[in-house]
Structure 1
Amino acid sequence: MTTRKTGARRKSKPKHAYRLLVKLEGSEPAVWRMINMPGHMTLADLDRVIQAAMGWTNSHMHMFAIDGKLYGWADEEWIDDEPVLPDDAFTLDEVLGAAVKGFLHEYDFGDGWHHDVTVQAVELANEGRNSWPMCLAGANACPPEDVGGLGGYEEFLQAINDPSHEQHDAMWRWCGGPFDPKGFDINSANRAIRDALSELL
C-alpha cells in the first residue's frame, strides 16, 4: 500500500470552501461523488478525500493535473517529461483560488482511473457549515481495486453477474462475495473520509 502523511496541512483558517463534482471518466452509468473541501487543506488531503468518497483504498500512486501543472508524489522510478510538484505543499486556496473551474485526478497509473473534477461552487468558508471535508451526494459503486481498468471492470461485471460464466466462481472468490455496481452509501463514504483523515492527524 502506498501511504504518506500529508504533514504540510496548514493551520490557518480556510478562505474558501469548494464544492467539487468528481466523476470517474468513462464509467456508465456514471460513478460520481459531490464533495466539500475547505481551502486550507492540501492537494494530498484532497486525494485522500476523493479516494475515500469513491471507495479506493490508497494502494497506488496518484497525480493531479491542474491549470497546466502536475502535482503528486514524485517517484524517481516514474520518468515524466514534466516535473511533478509535491501535492502536500499546496493548499486548495493556493492552487484553485476562485478561478480554476476543473481539473484531473488520476489514481493507479496501471489501471488508469481518471477522475474529472468540476468546481461546482466556491463559497466563503463558514466554520459551522462547510469548513470540513464531507461527501454531499453520489451514485454507483467504485470498481474493485486492480480489476484492470474500465475494460477489466466490464469483464468482471459480466462474470460476477452470470452464474453460468466460466469465470463467475473465480470472480466471486476474488471479490469476496457479491458485488452491487449500483451500491453507494453516503454515510459509509463520510465514515471513510473521517477514517482516512484521522490517520493523518
Structure 2
Amino acid sequence: MDEVLHQMHLGFNELIIQAFILDALFHHNCSIETVSERILRDLPEEHRIAVEEFEQPFQDALKKQIKVLKSTYNVFMDQQTGAIREAALRLSDDLTSWLRNLGEYGVYADEIPEEGMEQLLHFTREIDSILLETMEPVVLPEERKVNTLDYLKELRLQQEKLLDNLLFPEYLPSVYTVKMTLTGARPPVWRRLRLPGNCTLDDLHSIIQTAFNWDDEHLHMFSDEHKTRYVSPATTREGEEEDEERFMIDDLLTRPRQVLKYTYDFGDDWRVGIVVEKIEEYDSYTDADDIVCLAGKGNSPPENCGGLPGFRNMIESGMTPWGDPYEPEIFDPEELTRILKERDTEKTFRSAGE
C-alpha cells in the first residue's frame, strides 16, 4: 500500500489509510467509495493523472485493507479509541487540505521556510503517534481519553496558528518581555510577562487587571515618556487624550528600558510602571501569541483597600479592611499564566497596521 500511495503522490502513509478505514467502521459507513472519497478530497488537478494511472492497484490495495480490518473490528471496544482517532484525523485532514490548496494562495510547498517545514513535520509525527495508539481498539481509562482529547485541542490551535502565519508572515508583531511593578509597594509587588506587540493598550489594561487581580471597577490611564495620555474611548477628552484602543504596544514601545506608566483608580491611586526588558522578533513557528507570566513577586493589594496606606496596614495586620486574611508573599506565575490563557482574547490580537 505504501508503494502505491507514493506513486500516486497522495502525501499519506499506510497508517493514515488504516485510520481512515477504522474511522469509517466507527461511524458505520465503511465502503471503498467513502474511504476513497476522503483520501482523494481536495486533490489538485495535476495529481489526478497519477491517481487515474494507479487507480486499479490503489482500489485493490484498499479493498484488501478494508477486508482485513473489518474482520477483526469491534465497535464496542472502539468507543474511546475511536473518539481519539476521529479528533486526530480531523487535524490530519486540515493539514492535508491546507497543503493541497497552497496554490490558491500563491504559495508552493518548496517556498515554505525550512523551520516551517520542520514544524509541519512535527505536527505530522504527533498525529501519527496518537493514531498509532488507536490502531488496536481497547477500553481506555476515562482520564487518559480526556487528556488525549485536550492535547489534540491544544495541538489544533497551534497548528491553525502555524498555518496562518506561514501564509501571512508579513503581519507578525514583535514579542515583548516587560516588567510591571506596583510603584511604592513594600514589600515589592511585580510581574514579568511575555506578550505580543499587537496588544492594544485597551488589551494591556485588561492584562494588567488580571495580573494584579483587580476587578476593573474604576477609571484608568496610560502615559508615555512624552506625557501623552491614553484612556478608554468612553472618557477621552478631545485634544487632551488619545483613544487607547487605537494604539498597540508596537506603536509606543520601540526599545529596551523604555517605560509606559499606568494609573488605576484615581482614589486609591495605584500606579504601575511597565518597563521593556526585551524585544524579540516574532517567531511564527511558536506559540508567540500566548501571554506568559515568566516570574513575579508579592500578593497584589485588593480593590478599594485604601491605596498604599491601606496596603501598609494590611501588611502589618495580616488582614484586609474587611477582616479577611491577607498573605503578602503569595503569588504563582504558572497560575497567572493559566488565567491569562483562559481570558477572552477574541479582540486582543490584530494585525499590525490595521
Ranges in structure 2 where 5+ consecutive residues have no aligned partner: 1-167, 349-354
Letter paired with 1:71: Y
Match of 2:276 among 101, 119, 138: 119
Other-structure match for 1:17: 175
Match of 1:136 among 290, 294, 297: 294
Count of residue pairs brought into register by the alignment: 178
1:192 aligns with 2:349: no
Give CA deviations for 1:121-146 in whole Å, capped at 9, x if unaligned.
01101130533222111001000110
Tell me how far 1:117 sits from its aligned partner.
Answer: 1.1
Q: Secondary structure at the match of 2:229?
A: strand
Distance 2:256 2:336 in 1: 28
Other-structure match for 1:63: 221
1:51 aligns with 2:209: yes
Distance 2:208 2:172 in 1: 19
Q: Secondary structure at the match of 1:97?
A: coil
CA separation of 1:94 and 1:73: change in aligned 2, threshold 3 A: same
Q: Secondary structure at the match of 1:197?
A: coil
The percent identity for this pair of structures is: 29
Ranges in structure 1 where 5+ consecutive residues have no aligned partner: 1-10, 162-167
Which stretches of structure 1, 4 residues or more, deviate above 2 A after TM superposition? 11-15, 97-100, 129-132, 156-159, 194-201
Tell me how far 1:195 sits from its aligned partner.
Answer: 3.5
Indicate the RMSD between aligned Cα atoms, in angstroms: 2.6
Give runs of aligned pairs for residues 141-180 of structure 1, distance below 5 A. 141-159=299-317, 161=318, 171=321, 174=322, 177-180=324-327
Tell me how far 1:191 sits from its aligned partner.
Answer: 2.7
Distance 1:143 1:75 in 2: 27
Given that 1:140 and 1:183 are in contact with CA atoms closer than 8 Å, whether structure 2 keeps it comes out as yes
Distance 1:198 1:74 in 2: 19
Letter paired with 1:45: D
The structure whose residues are more often strand, as a share, is 1
Given that 1:102 and 1:118 are in contact with CA atoms closer than 8 Å, whether structure 2 keeps it comes out as yes
Higher relative contact order (CA 8 A, sep 6+): 1
Given that 1:18 and 1:119 are in contact with CA atoms closer than 8 Å, whether structure 2 keeps it comes out as yes
Q: Secondary structure at the match of 1:104?
A: strand
Q: Secondary structure at the match of 2:180?
A: strand
Letter paired with 1:56: W
Match of 1:89 among 246, 258, 268: 246
Tell me how far 1:87 sits from its aligned partner.
Answer: 0.8
Distance 1:30 1:149 in 2: 14
Other-structure match for 1:183: 330
Tell me how far 1:107 sits from its aligned partner.
Answer: 1.2
Other-structure match for 1:107: 264
Q: Which has the larger radius of gyration?
A: 2
TM, length-normalised to structure 2: 0.46
Letter paired with 2:250: D
Given that 2:253 and 2:276 are in contact with CA atoms closer than 8 Å, whether structure 1 keeps it comes out as no
